[in-house]
A and B are shown apart, each in its own frame.
Chain A
């Protein structure tokens, strides 16, 4: 069993996501929510790093937070899975521990 890492702050404003990607163990689950969801989108200056991370980690993004920001769930970086709140709960339940990056 591995940990779930949650990131809620924008990678363009803080470095929580960047630190998480450096310190999470390969195979861990990572969930981006709230302002962090912009980090899951194609075409950003973070996209290459996130695409690479998607090969190492099980990357997720919270759909309702994408929708709220007008960000198209069909345009997330390949390998990133869009989940709803129930999916968030499942990820937390499956994890050995939850680490919230804040």
Chain B
């Protein structure tokens, strides 16, 4: 299948995560979309901002709410060649979090830097 695919244009894709992991299904849906889209070899960027930073929080224990802890899957992204993860410092600060609270390596940027980065994208999906 890959041979048949034309050497297509690589676009800059950005997925913007703005919600907590368990209160709604958005975080999990975006994660699945990202994993599937990894097959298309695009230039993928993942942003975690606002409450989205909580998706990457360490030490989740979901037994008590009867849901699957999918936070471990963020650590699989590297194997899918998705390594451009961004978090803004302001969102961490507002929630009393630091980079040490996050379970994957991310690039912590300012909101101003994140705004510039967003502006450079070809496709942006926000949830």
- Chain A interface extent, by class: 20 to 34
| Chain B: minimal CB distance from A12 (Å) | 5
- Chain B interface extent, by class: 20 to 34
User: Which of B2-10, B14-22, B31-39, B113-121 lies at the interface with chain A?
Assistant: B14-22
**Interface residue? B23 (CB, 8 A):** yes
A43 contacts B22, C-beta separation under 8 Å = no
B20 contacts A69, C-beta separation under 8 Å = yes
**Interface residue? B54 (CB, 8 A):** yes
Bound together, the chains give a CA A44 to CA B53 distance in angstroms of: 13
**Interface residue? A58 (CB, 8 A):** no
B19 contacts A65, C-beta separation under 8 Å = no
From the candidates A12, A64, A65, A67, name the one contacting B51 in the complex (CB within 8 A): A12
A69 contacts B96, C-beta separation under 8 Å = no
B65 contacts A42, C-beta separation under 8 Å = no
Hey, what's the 0/1 contact readout for B40-79 against A, CB within 8 Å counting as 1?
0000000000110010011111111101010100000000
**Interface residue? A38 (CB, 8 A):** yes
